[in-house]
Amino acid sequence: MKLKGWRELTPGAVILEAGNAVEFKTGSWRSFRPVWKEENCIQCLFCWLYCPDMAIKVKDGKREEFDYDYCKGCGICALECPGKKGNKAIIMVEEGK
């Protein structure tokens, strides 16, 4: 995205367009990446409920892959995940590994 010059800015840094947070991809902040193990997932949707962003995609009542453009790797989903028979459906993996 081309950065604007000082003449093109709104006075006082006021943001005029609603809902533009979607343009700001925050996934690059992540140092740990959640990995979804579908075989251990019971589709309880706790991860979707607890995610402080909207990084768990859900379609027809079922969770799908993470939205890594916005997931900051907080790990709340992995903590809350009940998994199946003691095996977590979400595990945190260090980025870069």
Partner 1 sequence: MAKIVAATGNEAVANALMQANPDVSAAYPITPATDIMQRFTSFVSNATVKTEMILVESEHSAMSACIGASAAGGRVMTATSSQGLALMWEMLFIASGLRLPIVMPVVNRALSAPLNIHGDHSDAMGARDTGWIQLWSENAQEAYDNTIQSFLIGEHMDIRLPVMVCLDGFIISHSIERIEYLEDAEVKNFIGEFRQLNPLLDIEHPVSYGPLILPDYYMEFRKAQDEVESKVFRVVLDVAKDFEKISGRKYGLFETYRLDDAEIGLVILNSAAGTSKDVIDEFRNRGIKAGLLKPRLYRPFPYNEIGEALKHLKAVCVLDRADAFGGSYGPLFIDISTSLYTYSKKPILINKIYGLGGRDYLPEHAELVLNELTEIAKTEKVKTIKEYIGVRG
Interface with partner 1, residue 12, by CB under 8 A: yes
Interacting positions 13-32 with partner 1 (CB under 8 A): 13-16, 18
Options 10-18, 58-66, 71-79, 85-93: segment touching partner 1 (CB under 8 A): 10-18
Query: Which of 17, 39 has the CB closer to partner 1?
Result: 17
- Alpha-carbon distance of 70 to 79, in angstroms, equals 19
- Alpha-carbon distance of 73 to 59, in angstroms, equals 22
N-term to C-term CA, the chain:
29
Interface residue list for partner 1 (CB under 8 A): 3-7, 9-16, 18
